């Protein structure tokens, strides 16, 4: 599921991002954060309205392709875990400061 973005949707001030899934269904997300891990940028999103596929507290992570202005899905479960753990460590380090 590759998702097209408008440039203003990459702004952290924007609270809601609308993505279209493979079936043409619009899913609204809240932008939690954008983080850089091993030279790649990733978006961390929360579903604005939880559904049967995405839970209320489930974080959805996409690779951010700034050149093509798309969010790219990540198939590698290990990479998803690494990015999320990295993000959690960043947040904890910020909280300690």
At 40, list the tokens: 């790649």
Domain range for 23 is 3-96
- Number of domains within the chain: 1
In this predicted structure, the answer to whether residue 13 has a pLDDT above a threshold of 90 is: no
How far apart (Å, rounded) are the C-alpha atoms in residues 41 and 36? 4
Computed over every residue of the chain, the mean pLDDT equals 84
In this predicted structure, the answer to whether residue 6 has a pLDDT above a threshold of 80 is: no
pTM, two decimal places: 0.77
Question: Phi-psi category of 39—alpha, beta or left, where left has phi over 0 and alpha has psi -120 to 50?
Answer: left
How far apart (Å, rounded) are the C-alpha atoms in residues 61 and 74? 7
Give me the percent of the chain exceeding a pLDDT of 90. Answer: 49
pLDDT tens readout for residues 46-85: 988 878 888 888 999 999 999 998 999 999 999 999 999 9
């Amino acid at each position: 599921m590759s998702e097209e973005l408008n440039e203003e949707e990459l702004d952290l001030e924007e609270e809601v991002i609308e993505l279209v899934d493979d079936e043409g269904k619009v899913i609204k997300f809240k932008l939690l954060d954008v983080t850089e891990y091993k030279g790649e940028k990733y978006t961390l999103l929360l579903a604005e309205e939880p559904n049967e596929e995405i839970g209320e507290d489930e974080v959805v992570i996409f690779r951010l392709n700034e050149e093509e202005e798309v969010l790219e899905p990540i198939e590698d479960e290990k990479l998803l875990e690494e990015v999320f753990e990295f993000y959690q460590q960043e947040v904890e380090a910020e909280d300690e400061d």
